[in-house]
Amino acid sequence: MCGIVGIVSNKSVSASIIRALKKLEYRGYDSAGISTITNGEINEQKCSGRVDNLEKILFQNPSSGDLGIGHVRWATHGIPNQVNAHPHSSEVVSVVHNGIIENSDKLRKEYEQKGYSFKSQTDTEVITAMLTDFLKKEDLINCIHKTLEKLEGSFALGVIFKNFNNLVVGARRGSPLAVGFGHDENFIGSDSYALKSMTNKISYLDDGDFCILYKEKVEFYNSDKKKINKEIFELSSEDNIADKGDYKDFMSKEINEQSTTTKKCINEYLDKSRNEINIFNLPINPKKIKKIRLIACGTAYHSCLMAKYWIEEFTSIDVESDIASEFRYRKVKLDPSDLYIFVSQSGETADTYAALKKCKENKIKTCGIVNVVESSIARLSDFVLPIHAGPEIGVASTKAFIGQMIVLYLLTLKISKERGDINLDEYAKLVLDLRKIPSLIEETLSKQKDIQVIARDFINAKGTMYLGRGYSYPIAMEGALKLKELSYIHAEGYAAGEMKHGPLALIEDGIPVVVLAPKDRFFEKTISNMQEVIARGGKVLMITDDTSETMSENIRFKFQIPKTNSTINSFLLTIPLQFLAYHVALLKNCDIDKPRNLAKSVTVE
């Protein structure tokens, strides 16, 4: 969370910093700030709220200077106000920070005793004090190195100095930092997307690295202060496509492009002429895998829950799904014959990254399923399967979820085939069915208007439940997460069979309940659970591929998804739930792309 940017150029940088900060707003949007060196002095300007507010301030009080740093904040230490907004500056140094300094209390006391005073409640301001202090006795490299050595926790930093007015410093431990190379200007940014309008040549700092940007060159150093070289990647033009087009917001664009993104993903992995899945050289021979562990957070975790059902269905491998923030601290028996799969849209989620690191440190073979292929998780994994969804900007994950499920499904089928767990005819049929997913998604997307109508039932609800069994259960959980994060209505995803063990007590007259009831082997049982809800006054939105008229009189609304094989109808059940969350939020006037208190890339624990 939080986004940082830094630029050193041969021209004024404030407009470019603002442009980059707008691209980084998905990482945090409760305050914003900028520092430049103007007439030999540090010129810091910051405000609470969005980058638009900062832009207005700069319009009235322009900030010149050909080097500078900028920040968008997602508050961790201290409320989101102007004082706590970054940058944090002294007379001689100005700092922006993404991450958490875990020993900040101790450092604050130490530097208070040395005579430094602090204006903000942030953990970041200790870095300003430390750099200011080291600068009194050290050269620049030692000043940076000694400061970084004393910091505990995770960070990406951008720093400018009054007395080194030709450079910007970047540093990384735990939080991502990209470096961009331009003509007579160079950049740092929390991701390459922020830098894309300025350059397509990108490098990445690894943990412990720091860099010094000059306008004509970039120097990289490792944690031992040794100069190092970095590989430079060229972003493809496709990596750069990230605008709303004709859509009102990124989320509706991202929902509506899911037939295209799934098609792209499937095409990347399928050899159509042989009807074969092109996934080779897994880090463990599929025949030797004893267990699969899937690890992720939030929506990505729901894709793992889904995959658990598929892996159990199609292979003889034992499987577990884990929430990364729990897994990383548990005393899990790490076995080298188990395959560990880490799923993350951003590839930067701190807990997922830490869980992956724990496996790597124990010589466990890992596979990363990511959207951002140059991300930290992709770079650390032994084997990477991209989801090819293109940039996802809306904070609520939609097309990445579908993409994660596609890749996990492909991987399941491939492992199953390699192990001989599935017969070849069934495999061929499932692969053929898989190729129909994009057009089935397209058909489901065309029914958005139906959901718009029912969304009104939810806007005044004090809570709601999403119910499903089998493959539909993880989708119910994901649907509930989408509604709560976008519309701030309490929602729970429940296994329909669990209702009578407690949650049924929540059902009262008028409560909206979403029931996922595809015509699979659980259909009759789900219908019974739905009846129990209706009998207690629940207003049911049923989502099904069943075309019969039975039950219709008792159901408030029935949303019809196209018929398909029951192992893949999860893809289709997901679409109306995304629309539902979207339209409820729209009716409640919520900020669709930037829900309150959240951020897209969760780079703190």
Catalytic residues: 2, 600
Q: Hey, is 423 helix, strand or coil?
A: coil
Report d(CA 549, CA 533) in Å as an integer. 19
Of 48 and 154, CB closest to ligand F6R:
154
Cα end-to-end distance, the chain, whole Å: 10
Query: Among 207, 89, 67, which Cα is nearest to 148's?
Result: 207
- Note the helical H segments in 159-297: 192-195, 250-256, 258-269
Which residue stretch of 128-136, 276-284, 340-348, 359-367 sits at the interface with ligand F6R (rule: CB under 6 A)? Answer: 340-348
Of 93 and 599, CB closest to ligand F6R:
599
Report d(CA 325, CA 295) in Å as an integer. 9
With 0-12 / 13-18 / 19 or more C-beta atoms within 10 angstroms meaning exposed / middle / buried, residue 185 is buried
Q: Which of 21, 42, 282, 396 binds ligand F6R (CB under 6 A)?
A: 396
Q: How far is the CB of 370 from ligand F6R (least distance, A)?
A: 8
Under the criterion CB under 6 A, does residue 402 sit at the interface with ligand F6R?
no
Q: Which of 171, 212, 297, 387 binds ligand F6R (CB under 6 A)?
A: 297
Q: Residue 98 phi/psi, 5° resolution?
A: -120, 125
Of 380 and 540, CB closest to ligand F6R:
380
Report d(CA 417, CA 430) in Å as an integer. 11
Under the criterion CB under 6 A, does residue 352 sit at the interface with ligand F6R?
yes
Q: Which residues contact 88 (CB under 8 A, 6 or more apart)?
A: 94, 95, 97, 119, 120, 122, 124, 125, 127, 128
Q: Which residues contact 183 (CB under 8 A, 6 or more apart)?
A: none
Under the criterion CB under 6 A, does residue 63 sit at the interface with ligand F6R?
no
Q: How far is the CB of 330 from ligand F6R (least distance, A)?
A: 19
Q: Any idea what DSSP says for residue 504?
A: G
Q: Which of 299, 566, 569, 574 binds ligand F6R (CB under 6 A)?
A: 299
Q: Which residues contact 126 (CB under 8 A, 6 or more apart)?
A: 101, 104, 107, 108, 111, 118
Of 127 and 251, CB closest to ligand F6R:
251
Under the criterion CB under 6 A, does residue 397 sit at the interface with ligand F6R?
yes
Of 182 and 298, CB closest to ligand F6R:
298
Q: 146-165: which residues touch ligand F6R (CB under 6 A)?
A: none
Of 513 and 577, CB closest to ligand F6R:
577
Q: What is the DSSP annotation of 535-567? A: HTT-EEEEEES----TTGGG-SEEEEPPP--TT
Under the criterion CB under 6 A, does residue 487 sit at the interface with ligand F6R?
no
Which residue stretch of 210-218, 330-338, 346-354, 535-543 sits at the interface with ligand F6R (rule: CB under 6 A)? Answer: 346-354
Under the criterion CB under 6 A, does residue 602 sit at the interface with ligand F6R?
yes
Using CB under 6 A, count the residues that bind ligand F6R. 14
Place of tokens 């590839």: 347
Measured at CB, which residue is nearest to ligand F6R? Answer: 298
Per this entry, what is the length of the chain? 605
Q: Residue 453 phi/psi, 5° resolution?
A: -65, -50
The helix or strand, by DSSP H or E, that contains position 109, with its residue range, turns out to be helix 104-113
Q: How far is the CB of 111 from ligand F6R (least distance, A)?
A: 34
Q: How far is the CB of 361 from ligand F6R (least distance, A)?
A: 20
Q: Which of 349, 526, 529, 574 binds ligand F6R (CB under 6 A)?
A: 349
Of 215 and 482, CB closest to ligand F6R:
482
Which residue stretch of 129-137, 343-351, 379-387, 559-567 sits at the interface with ligand F6R (rule: CB under 6 A)? Answer: 343-351
Q: Which residues contact 54 (CB under 8 A, 6 or more apart)?
A: 18, 21, 32, 33, 34, 45, 46, 47
Query: Among 547, 567, 310, 561, which Cα is nearest to 440's?
Result: 561
Which residue stretch of 178-186, 246-254, 295-303, 549-557 sits at the interface with ligand F6R (rule: CB under 6 A)? Answer: 295-303
Under the criterion CB under 6 A, does residue 303 sit at the interface with ligand F6R?
no
Under the criterion CB under 6 A, does residue 485 sit at the interface with ligand F6R?
yes
Six token digits for residue 364 = 């466990």
Q: Which of 75, 144, 198, 300 binds ligand F6R (CB under 6 A)?
A: 300
Which residue stretch of 207-215, 298-306, 458-466, 467-475 sits at the interface with ligand F6R (rule: CB under 6 A)? Answer: 298-306
Which residue stretch of 120-128, 214-222, 341-349, 359-367 sits at the interface with ligand F6R (rule: CB under 6 A)? Answer: 341-349
Which residue stretch of 257-265, 275-283, 338-346, 495-503 sits at the interface with ligand F6R (rule: CB under 6 A)? Answer: 338-346
With 0-12 / 13-18 / 19 or more C-beta atoms within 10 angstroms meaning exposed / middle / buried, residue 599 is buried
Q: Which of 298, 368, 386, 493 binds ligand F6R (CB under 6 A)?
A: 298
Q: Please state, as a whole number, how many other Cβ atoms lie within 10 Å of the Cβ of residue 145.
A: 18
Report d(CA 35, CA 13) in Å as an integer. 10
Q: Which of 132, 344, 416, 567 binds ligand F6R (CB under 6 A)?
A: 344
Q: How far is the CB of 300 from ligand F6R (least distance, A)?
A: 4
With 0-12 / 13-18 / 19 or more C-beta atoms within 10 angstroms meaning exposed / middle / buried, residue 215 is buried
Of 440 and 599, CB closest to ligand F6R:
599
Q: How far is the CB of 404 from ligand F6R (least distance, A)?
A: 8
Of 370 and 527, CB closest to ligand F6R:
370
Of 469 and 482, CB closest to ligand F6R:
482
Q: Which residues contact 398 (CB under 8 A, 6 or more apart)?
A: 251, 254, 255, 258, 392, 482, 578
Report d(CA 133, CA 128) in Å as an integer. 9
Q: Which of 16, 199, 259, 345 binds ligand F6R (CB under 6 A)?
A: 345
Under the criterion CB under 6 A, does residue 346 sit at the interface with ligand F6R?
yes
Under the criterion CB under 6 A, does residue 491 sit at the interface with ligand F6R?
no
With 0-12 / 13-18 / 19 or more C-beta atoms within 10 angstroms meaning exposed / middle / buried, residue 103 is middle
Binding site for ligand F6R (CB under 6 A): 297-300, 344-346, 349, 352, 396-397, 481, 485, 602
